[in-house]
């Protein structure tokens, strides 16, 4: 058993934060599933923008589509949906072996609908039908409108990866939307046992913004908190997860066979080169969680990771650190809202570049 496989024995799933036709056709994804225990794949507009730029396997399809499909977005979908389907098929044995708990691939609704709940629901339904795989998660942003769409999609039985969460408050709002959607589905007499949702809490971007604010404050006390906000936030979000999904709020749904909404650690590659390359991995290993790893972070974990179940350690310290940030004037809810808005803009910019690549 290698290091990455050992992580999975501790109750955490490792998903790959990357997808391209090269990974599929060259056998890389199949090897990662077999040798590293990778049990899921996430994608986003930035990932597909890089894939289309770097992989040689899209050129023929793109030339054919340019001659037959006038709409750039439909050309993009015609190229990436087969990749999503192929990844779903590779992970289907994982999905089946886990009883539908793992083995998922994520595909994102176009970012321009992040503030339009009705259109997000329609686009999610359309994409789910186009991919037509049981182990697909549709990515919906954790904006207020996105959460409204998430609730509706959950009621409809469409599985969702709620993305672009940057605070405990936003994460709690996602949990609440999931419970409302499942409750409505159950009251309608529908089966909730096949519903699946994850809540993707972004980490490195939180530290990047908070560190900038701490550096501006400049006191020794402030500087000592750099690089600590995201892990502290994640630990407290997990405590919230435990209270919600192992508590009374979810008890009736548990009796009906519903699954909790697992936390997924996103943006887990460090952006500050001075930080340990597994800052957002090793401290956050715990049961009923997922870490979606970029290739570089996965390689670092495989090479020198020291996995242990540390997610429930240091909760009091995490609370003290966030309290100290608040005392210094750093509002973590405001940080989350700023980063969520920025995240939508970044994904929309990547999506527009992606459409230009297919033009």
DSSP labels, 73-112: HHHHHHHHHHHHHHHHHHHHHHHHHTTTSS-EEEEEPPGG
Q: Which two tokens stand for residue 26?
A: 């060259």
DSSP labels, 280-345: TTGGG--TTEEEEE-HHHHHHHHHH------TTTTHHHHHHHHHHHHHTT--HHHHHHHHHHHHHH
DSSP 19: -
Torsion (CA) 224, 227, 228, 230 in degrees, nearest 10: 150
Annotated catalytic residue: which of 122, 139, 296, 353? Answer: 139
> What are the beta bridge partners of residue 139?
108, 161
DSSP 116: -
d(CA 30, CA 69): 31
Give yes or no: 271 in active site: no
Q: Are 3 and 63 in contact (CB under 8 A)?
A: no
Please name which of 179, 172, 197 lies closest in space to residue 106, comparing C-alpha atoms: 197
Task: Report, as residue numbers or ranges, the catalytic residues.
Answer: 139
């Amino acid at each position: 058993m290698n290091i990455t496989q050992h992580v999975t024995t501790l109750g955490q799933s490792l998903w790959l934060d990357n997808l391209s036709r090269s990974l599929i056709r060259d056998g890389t994804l199949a090897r990662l599933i077999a040798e590293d225990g990778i049990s899921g794949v996430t994608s986003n507009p930035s990932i597909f923008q890089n894939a289309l730029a770097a992989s040689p396997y899209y050129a023929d399809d793109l030339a054919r589509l340019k001659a037959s499909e006038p709409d750039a977005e439909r050309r993009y979908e015609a190229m990436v949906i087969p990749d999503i389907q192929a990844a779903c098929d590779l992970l289907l044995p994982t999905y089946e072996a886990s009883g539908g708990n793992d083995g998922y691939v994520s595909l994102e609704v176009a970012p321009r609908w992040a503030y339009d709940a009705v259109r997000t629901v329609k686009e999610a339904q359309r994409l789910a039908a186009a991919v037509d795989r049981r182990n697909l998660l549709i990515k919906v942003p954790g904006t207020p409108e996105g959460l409204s769409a998430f609730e509706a999609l959950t009621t409809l039985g469409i599985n969702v990866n709620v993305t672009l969460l940057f605070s405990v408050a936003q994460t709690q709002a996602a949990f609440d939307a999931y419970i409302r959607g499942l409750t409505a589905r159950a009251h309608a007499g529908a089966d909730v046992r096949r519903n699946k949702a994850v809540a993707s809490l972004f980490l490195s971007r939180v530290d990047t913004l908070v560190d900038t604010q701490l550096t501006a404050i400049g006191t020794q006390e402030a500087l000592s908190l750099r690089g600590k906000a995201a892990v502290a936030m994640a630990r407290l979000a997990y405590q919230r997860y435990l209270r919600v999904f192992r508590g009374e709020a979810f008890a009736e749904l548990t009796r009906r066979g519903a699954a909790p909404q697992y936390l997924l650690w996103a943006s887990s590659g460090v952006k500050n080169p001075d930080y340990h390359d597994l800052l957002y991995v090793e401290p956050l290993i715990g049961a009923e969680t997922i870490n979606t790893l970029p290739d570089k972070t996965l390689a670092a974990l495989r090479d020198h990771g020291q996995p242990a179940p540390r997610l429930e350690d240091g909760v009091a310290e995490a609370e003290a650190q966030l309290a100290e940030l608040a005392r210094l004037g750093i509002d973590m809810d405001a940080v989350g809202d700023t980063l969520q808005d920025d995240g939508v803009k970044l994904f929309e910019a990547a999506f527009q570049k992606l459409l230009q690549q297919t033009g």
